[in-house]
Structure formats: C-alpha cells, structure tokens
Copies of this chain bind each other. A is one copy, B any other.
Amino acid sequence: MTPLPSLLLEPLVRAALAEDLGPAGDATSRAVIPPGLRYAARLNTRAPGTVSGMQVAAMAFRLLDPALEVRTLRPDGSQVSAGETLMQIEGDAAAILSAERVALNFAGRLSGIATLTAAFVAATAGANARITCTRKTTPGLRLVEKQAVLDGGGSPHRYGLSDAILIKDNHIAAAGGIIPVLRAARAQAGHMRRVEIEVDTLDQLETVLATGGADVVLLDNMDTDTLARAVARVNGALVTEASGNMRLERIAEVTATGVDYISVGALTHSAPVLDLGLDF
C-alpha cells in the first residue's frame, strides 16, 4: 500500500513535538549538550512484534531538524524480533535527544497496536474471517491507529461518523424500529455509502433480512452458538461482522462460525506498547 501523505501526518507530529518541547524547548539538551556535537543513534526493539509508526517516527526526527539523516531499516508492517534495529538516525546530538521521546511514544504505541492486531489475525489461522477495529481509538490519533491496524494485517472499518452508516440499538429505538430505520438510512445514504445495522438477536436478524436496505449486519454480543446460527441464516445475503467481548482466546471459535469480519475495540483502546528504545 502507498504510504500516507506527509500532509496528513505532519500536523499531528508537529503538535506532538510542540507538546513535549513545551513552551521553551528542551532545557536539558540546550544546557548540557555541546553545540554541534554529532551522534548516531539506533531505534531498537526490546521485544518481538509487528512494526508500525516508522513513517511517523522518522518525521518526528526530521521535523525537529531537517538535517538529521534518518534511515528506516524495517518498514511499517514488518514482523521483528527483540534486539532488531528499526531505524538509524545520525546528526546533531541535541536534536536527536529532543525528538527521541516523541518518536518512541508514537512508534511504541502504534507498534503495540500492530502487534496485538497481528496476534488476532494469527488466531484466525487463514480462515475467512478478517480482523478489524472500531471507533474506540485515542482522540486525535485515529489516522495512525487505524493505519497500525492495517500494518498488523487487519482490515479497515469506517473512519468516523460521516463515511458510512452504522445503525446501533439506540438509533433503532429512537427511529421507531428496524423497518423505519433501514428505510430512512437507505434513502439518505446515497450510492457510495454502505449501511450496516446492529442486531442482538436472531429475531432482529430476520427483520433486517426481510426489510432489506442493509449491506452489512453487525452481530453484537452474541455467544458463539447464536453467532454461528446467525451467520448460517444470513448465508451470504449480507456481509457479517461479529463484535462484543472478542477476546484473543475466543477468536478461533468465532472464526469457525464463518463470520466475515470480527471487530475488536481492544486493538486500539487497550493494546500495551511495544518496548522500543533509542541506543547511542
């Protein structure tokens, strides 16, 4: 996949650097690093995982000092073991030290997401089901967190509230039931937006199938047996997505139901960071 345009990432990285530099810059490096001192640093893994955030980390170093030479050895999406070098940075020592934490904060967090995603993907063991994420992302980081899911082998979901229609239980209740809600959605969706609707029971599923107008059905919080029956009932008439309580241990049996997509909020809201460090 072509990388994201710098134009979209730059404001994010610039803001993160400004946040860490604070209003007056890096007091420590300014005070103690001899001006002009050059350094060579390596961004190394301390644990195995799947890499994400290299594009962002490289940009952090370059935005702080365009003269830094940054070389990415393992691009986003690579599977790596502990002790590997992901990136080499060479140039002004004070600049490298000032950008270090922001680069690591991005890369560690995003690689953590990619690594957890890869674990879920591995649990599907080549079956039909694809792993995808939700809108439970960190405020401000959706673009890079969704990219980290892709880097981990996951599949994209809608980006936010405007690019697809996803009707949840509260929408159904507010709109007066599945039939009117699907009609309203389809009438407004246009021909370029998909419509997905959440169902919690097989009865609701029957109504959705009978009403038409949906492209995707979200089978929410079902136990595995019910999920299997729902997928069988849909039988390819709609795309199926399973969500709710999708722990890693459960993915194999969920996959066995034949569901098309499994969405996992934890990929973005609770992934532990991948341990990375900068060594000089």
Contacts and interface: CB of A to CB of B under 8 A. Distances in A.
Interface of A: 1-5, 7-8, 12-35, 37, 39, 63-65, 93-95, 97-98, 101-102, 104-106, 108-109, 112, 130, 132, 135-143, 146, 155-168, 170-171, 173-175, 181, 184-185, 187-194, 196, 216, 239, 241, 260-261, 266, 269-270, 272-273, 280
A32 B191 contact: no
Contacts of A167: 28, 32
Contact of A135 (B14, B101, B156): B101
Number of identical monomers bound together in the oligomeric complex: 6
A29 to B, nearest CB: 6
Contacts of A106: 139
Contacts of A192: 156-158, 163-164, 166, 194, 196, 216
B185 A31 contact: yes
A273 B269 contact: yes
Contact of A31 (B95, B109, B165): B165
A109 B194 contact: no
Given A105-B139, A196-B192, A26 B159 contact: no
Nearest to A169: B280
Contact of A136 (B105, B196, B269): B105
Most B CB atoms within 10 A — which of A14, A17, A25, A94? A25
A239 to B, nearest CB: 5
B2 A30 contact: yes
B174 A27 contact: no
A112 B101 CA distance: 22
A160 B106 CA distance: 16
A174 B39 contact: yes
B162 A26 contact: yes
Given A105-B139, A140-B140, A191 B261 contact: yes
7 contacts: A5-B64, A7-B17, A24-B163, A27-B193, A28-B166, A106-B139, A163-B192
Given A160-B21, A181-B32, A188 B39 contact: no
Closest 10 pairs between A and B when the two form their complex, measured CB to CB? A22-B162, A16-B139, A163-B163, A31-B188, A156-B190, A22-B160, A24-B162, A26-B161, A140-B140, A270-B272
Given A2-B35, A7-B64, A19 B140 contact: yes
Contacts of A12: 139-140
Given A5-B95, A97-B170, A158-B193, 13 more contacts: A2-B29, A5-B21, A5-B98, A12-B139, A22-B22, A22-B162, A23-B23, A26-B161, A27-B188, A28-B171, A163-B192, A164-B193, A191-B261
